Amino acid sequence: MYVSELLENEYAGNFATYIKQAGDGKLIEELEISLHEFIRFVQNIPLDKFDYRYAEGKWTIKDIIQHVIDTERIFAYRALRFSRNDKTPLPSFEEADYADNTNSDKRSIQDLLTELSAVRHSNLLFYKSLSEEQLKRIGTASNNQISVRALGFVIIGHAKHHQKVFEERYL
Pick out the chain residues at pLDDT < 50: none
DSSP character at residue 58 = P
Q: What is the structure's pLDDT at 88? A: 97
Q: Which residues contact 28 (CB under 8 A, 6 or more apart)?
A: 1, 124, 127, 128
C-alpha distances in angstroms, 170 versus 43, 95, 130, 138? 14, 20, 38, 36
User: How far is CA 169 from its chain centroid?
Assistant: 19
Q: What percent of the chain has pLDDT above 90?
A: 94
Length of the chain, in residues: 171
CATH number, domain 3-170, options 1.20.1290.10, 3.40.720.10, 1.20.120.450, 3.10.450.50: 1.20.120.450
**What is the C-alpha separation between 38 and 105, in angstroms, rounded?**
19
Q: Bridge partners of 145? A: 140
Q: What is the structure's pLDDT at 24? A: 87
Q: What is the structure's pLDDT at 140? A: 96
